[in-house]
Every structure is written in C-alpha cells, then in structure tokens.
Structure 1
Amino acid sequence: MTTSIARVPTLSASRYLQQLAKHWSHKMTVAFTPEEGTIDFPNGSRLAMRADSESLDVVLTVPAGEDAARMRDVVASHLDRFAFREAPLTFDWREGD
C-alpha cells in the first residue's frame, strides 16, 4: 500500500468534498458529511477527505501494483474541475504511513 497525503488550501473545502463525493457516488462506494468523506475505488484505492474552514485534507491509499501517481492526478484533476474559479488548487502531496 502507498499512502499519499495532501493539505489543499481553500475556503471552499466542504463544498468541494461534497461535490466530489456526489460525483463519484454513481460509480463507487461513497460516504460523506459536510466535514468528512470517503470514496472507495474499484481498484482498491481509498480517498479520505476532511474539510475545515481553511483547507481540504486528503489521504489517498493505493494498493501495491496500482499507479499511485495516476491516482493522485485523478483526484487532483477532479477537484480542480469543481474549483474552476480558483483552480489549479495546490496539492502538497507527501508520503504517509
């Protein structure tokens, strides 16, 4: 498993979390509130999100053998789509535990 963590500065974190969760809820297993959300991808990856008033924290867990960089790009590009007024958002991806 590879874990990637990013803190994304935005004043609209809750809105973007909810938009992304609703967008992917048609194809994936999704659970969310205005403050937290998880998305389980068909390839075994999981995205966990937490919104506060200044940022969106994302934790992306990707199984061994899957392309973690591609999954980071998928998450970032989708969030940028919802944040078109302030895109591109800043993702400071780093390795997690």
Structure 2
Amino acid sequence: MSVTRAIVPTASASRYLQQLCKHWSHKFDVTFDAHQGRVPLPLGPVDLVADETALTVTCIVAEGGDVARMQKVVADHLNRFAFREGELVFDWHPA
C-alpha cells in the first residue's frame, strides 16, 4: 500500500473539502463534515482534513496502484473549486 500526503495552503480548506465531498457523493459513499472527509475512490480512499490554514489530503493506494494518477485526479478536482484563488500547491510526500 502507498500512502501519500499533501498539505495544501488555503484559507478556504473547509469549503473545498465540502465541495469535493458533495461532488463525489453522487458516485461514491462519501462521509464528511466541515472539518474532515473520506472519499472511497476506485483507486483507494482519500482522506481530507481542513483547518484554518490548509487542507491536508491523504491518498491511500493499493500496492501496484497508480499513485500519480490518484494524486492528479484529486488535485485537478480541487483546483476546479479553487479557480477564484488560483492554482493550489500540492507538495506530495510519503505519509
């Protein structure tokens, strides 16, 4: 299993977390509140935690899964919600 994490600086972390979870709740059994969420994507679960200064995104991918693809899917979706703010910075690291 590969676990990667990005701490994405933004003052709108809770809003983006909720928008992403609502968006994916039409396809997946998503759980979330204003501060945390979990999205069970086909590649593996994504955990989200929002605070006042950042959104922490954790991707969990099964062994042999495409980690880079999952990171790109999550980042692309979040950047769509953050269009007013500009491109968000995702600095992925092993967790």
TM-score by length of structure 1 reads 0.94
Are positions 1:90 and 2:83 aligned together? no
* Paired letter, 1:50: V
1:48 maps to 47
1:41-78 deviation line (CA, Å, top 9, x unaligned): 123x0100100010001111011121100100000000
Number of aligned residue pairs: 95
* Paired letter, 1:46: P
**Residues in 2 aligned to 1:61 and 1:87: alpha-carbon distance in whole angstroms:** 26
1:61 maps to 60
1:14 maps to 14
Which portions of structure 1, spanning 4 or more consecutive aligned residues, are displaced by more than 3 angstroms? none
- CA RMSD in angstroms, aligned pairs only: 0.8
* Structure 2 SS opposite 1:6: strand
Instruction: Name stretches of at least 5 consecutive residues in structure 1 with no aligned partner.
Output: none
Shift of 1:29: 1.5
Question: Contact (CA 8 Å) 1:81, 1:87: kept in 2 or not?
Answer: no
**Residues in 2 aligned to 1:11 and 1:25: alpha-carbon distance in whole angstroms:** 23
